[in-house]
Amino acid sequence: ARDDTPDYGRWLAQCDEAHDFTPVFWFGSPDPMTCASAFWILTQGSPETREAGMQGARAALAAQMSLHGGDPRALGHAAGAAGEARMQRVQSGAETVDSVRDDIEACNVAFGLQ
């Protein structure tokens, strides 16, 4: 998440954002499967977030497949299971909503979905 980014990386990202550019890099960006599970959580929300969640999950799973291969259906099920487990951690207080939001923001940047 953004907290893992060194100061100079944050300054560069802020400069990019101030001038309406998508940041080129983001230290600490989650791996594609973490992104897919975070986006899965969005698909469980309101109709407004469902489409964004599906779009993000597709991008993350495509990145996962291009990096490591794998069966798309199995990867989708794994992302859903990981997303459900993460949602339960948030509901139990073991993880914060902000950490999920930070990952989604970082994943949006990583996949150019902003």
Question: Which pLDDT value is given to residue 92?
Answer: 95
Q: Is residue 60 a contact partner of residue 67, using CB atoms and an 8 Å limit?
A: no
Q: pTM for the whole thing? A: 0.72
Each residue's pLDDT, cut to its tens digit, for the chain (114 residues) gives 455 566 766 777 778 778 877 665 555 678 899 999 999 999 998 988 999 999 999 999 999 888 888 888 999 999 999 999 999 999 999 999 988 998 898 899 888 887
pLDDT of residue 50: 94
For 52-63, letters b (16+ CB in 10 Å) and e give bbebbbebbbeb
pLDDT at 109: 85
